[in-house]
Structure 1
Amino acid sequence: MGDARRRLLLDVDTGIDDAVALMYLLATPGVSVEAITCTAGNVGARQVALNNLALLDLCGHAGVEVAIGSEVPLQVPLVTTEETHGDQGIGYAELPPPRGHISTRHAVDVWLEAVRCHPGQITGVVTGPLTNLALAIRAEPQLPQLLKGLVIMGGSFNYPGNTTPVAEWNTHVDPHAAREVYAACEGLPFEKLPVVCALETTERIECTPAHVDAVARAAGAEPEVLDPGERDGTRSRSSNAVVACLSDALRFYMEFHRSYDQGYIAHLHDLFAAMVATGEATFDERLATVDVETGSPLTIGQTVADVAGMWKRQPNARIVSGNHPEEVFALMVRRLADLARMHG
């Protein structure tokens, strides 16, 4: 019999929404997180790794390899965003020091061994800048063909950016890496083309206080009230460690969104990408050839999609064009409640 598991290799810059995505993946039956590689983005790469190790402990999955890759983008200076995700990257959440250790291997070596030893079996999921993947493709140009599939959270198409007027955060942190990855995917078979979850669909995934309370209630924990009227920095009083972590992380994110007049919500970009990777989220898509601006100071990091074939180049992406937020949150509540019952 074949292996029915969905084998995922994650590359993340954890990050509040990365953290929620990881918790979901660890709670989803039939999903195997083969390894987690870390890149700088929301916070520095070493802090990303520590966050991942601590979350693995919280969720009862200690032992998954966590490796650091490049700690800086390919060509531009590193910019991180602690004002969005907190000094440690996971908002107000405070987790015990991890019991596990950062791998001695470089992220690129983790990617190369995974795809060479298990060709056609590993789906890559990148929810941070594409630096590590670009470096891995430089070392193994056949890497996109060796993957089963690839899911990328990044970019914005005919939609405002969230970092500059035209650029999304992950792509803006390392536009050169994004450009190299898309170029390497040109002409792949349809099923191996990267599925790109960009802002026009990920910003539809608006988490509210009611969603967090629903997780707590479904887990059999006490109600979890995230009250917009409470002072900033209020901490969860839940006795359930998973609920408290989720609540404290998302409270910071909701306060951030409110400070930019977006409401007391949290955009869970990476959770949607994770659900695309597991096959649990339904979505519409369109084929396109994507390129990334790297030369213009005005528009650096902008993702441009040729849907009509004007460039006369082969497609290199399947851009998500429609999704179903209510489906995403129903899944989130079910999976994270299961996690909270088991490990809270």
Structure 2
Amino acid sequence: MDTPRIRILLDNDTGIDDALALAYLAACDHVEIVAVTATPGNVDADQVAANNRALLALCGQPQVPVLIGARAPLQVPLTTTPETHGPQGVGYATLPDPGPAAGHGIDAVDHWIEAARANPGELTALLSAPLTNFALALRREPRLPWLLGRVVIMGGAFYHQGNTTPTAEWNTHVDPHAAAEVYAAYTAAAQAGLDVQKLPIVCSLDSTERFEMQPGLLTDLAAAAGCAEPEHVLAGDPEGTRSTASNPLVRYLSDALRFYFEFHRHYDQGYIAHVHDYFAAGIAAGTLEYRSAGATVDVETESPLLTGTTVADFRALWGKPANARVVSWNDPAAGFAELVSRLGALARRLDGAPQGEPGPGQIG
């Protein structure tokens, strides 16, 4: 059965796992990336946009508009994370900046609103960054919950420890006021009768940290891509070792993810990488299985101790309707197999390799 065509508006803060998610979407033949908008987070908005332009060009989609909206969170100073994603946001990976993409200079928030109005019910919003741009869009167009077909958010932590503070997840912590506004807008929409299927699907750390990538996946990816030599990213390698993979997409992702493996090891999590945004992208693309539960989600913005903490009421104790569907189950093994298959095919196609032929180490 053919996968239905899906049109995605992506807002990210690229970001190593954002880059993996963007490359994956570019690898999905049934996905049209309508626009990629930059929110400051892992790096500032200009660097996010540059990363997106370069990666889209590498993935054969330089025509996709890359737009900038907000340049800072709504009320708090911007915090970036070079220790996690590197000074440019993509670890050790480097690509030349291909210059402005189509749509450069257009305000991201206005573009989102215009696209949603022109295509009511047809667009999926994938939000893998702080929710600053989406909050601004909801301020300008309160009908967005009805105009968008589906919304997927990577953010929050409920029954899982935070990855930025003991209780807060990174995206929500960077702009807690924006996240609070978004969930408040969906509470109002739910009270006004919004279809439950249009409530945001929330991929919190409870589900995304199950997507724990092992470095051997890059060996599998290189084989699927038909690389001339095996690709090995090993815990014993000197830090900063660069990939020599013959395929440019494999080389880019390997160099980015090596930095991410090293970061996780520095924080005593092992030589692994939590690829949060890829899981959210798979939900948006309709390719990964999941289960979810309705909840009323809110965000703490006042407490110095708990700022950015997300709270989910699954039992209607607050007396409010559900404003989100929080992911409660996923299948990482199937998800990683899907990732290797799609990215391997894209890498072969970009490199001009014949499709359907196994690379070194693959089973034909």
Task: Quote the Cα distance in structure 1 between the aligned partners of 2:136 and 2:97.
Answer: 30
Tell me the equivalent position of 1:294.
Answer: 301
Tell me the equivalent position of 1:320.
Answer: 327
Counterpart of 2:237 (choices 211, 230, 233) is 230
Matched residue type, 1:43: V
Unaligned runs of 5+ in 2: 352-364
Tell me the equivalent position of 1:194.
Answer: 200
Tell me the equivalent position of 2:249.
Answer: 242
Is 1:215 the counterpart of 2:216? The answer is: no
Whether the 8 Å CA contact 1:203–1:268 is kept in 2: the answer is yes
1:1-344 pair list within 5 angstroms: 4-101=4-101, 103-186=104-187, 187=190, 188-221=194-227, 222-344=229-351
Residue 342 of structure 1 and its aligned partner are, at CA, apart by: 1.3
Matched residue type, 2:145: P
Residue 4 of structure 1 and its aligned partner are, at CA, apart by: 4.4
Query: TM-score, normalized by length of structure 2?
Result: 0.93
Matched residue type, 1:29: D
**3-state DSSP of counterpart to 1:110:** helix
Kindly provide the CA deviation profile for residues 109-140 of structure 1, in whole angstroms up to 9, marking residues without a partner as x.
11111100001000100000000000000000
Query: TM-score, normalized by length of structure 1?
Result: 0.98
Task: Quote the Cα distance in structure 2 between the aligned partners of 1:98 and 1:234.
Answer: 25
Matched residue type, 2:172: T
Task: Quote the Cα distance in structure 2 between the aligned partners of 1:4 and 1:296.
Answer: 44
Residue 258 of structure 1 and its aligned partner are, at CA, apart by: 0.4
Runs of 4+, deviation exceeding 6 Å? none
Task: Quote the Cα distance in structure 2 between the aligned partners of 1:105 and 1:144.
Answer: 22
% of aligned pairs identical? Answer: 58
Whether the 8 Å CA contact 2:76–2:175 is kept in 1: the answer is yes
Whether the 8 Å CA contact 1:127–1:153 is kept in 2: the answer is yes
Whether the 8 Å CA contact 1:5–1:31 is kept in 2: the answer is yes
Unaligned runs of 5+ in 1: none
**3-state DSSP of counterpart to 1:185:** helix
Kindly provide the CA deviation profile for residues 191-249 of structure 1, in whole angstroms up to 9, marking residues without a partner as x.
10000000011001011111111010011112110011111000001121001001000
Kindly provide the CA deviation profile for residues 144-193 of structure 1, in whole angstroms up to 9, marking residues without a partner as x.
11100100000001110000000000000000000010111121311100
Whether the 8 Å CA contact 2:38–2:48 is kept in 1: the answer is yes
Residue 99 of structure 1 and its aligned partner are, at CA, apart by: 4.0
RMSD: 1.0
**3-state DSSP of counterpart to 1:152:** strand
Whether the 8 Å CA contact 1:171–1:301 is kept in 2: the answer is yes
Task: Quote the Cα distance in structure 2 between the aligned partners of 1:77 and 1:246.
Answer: 30
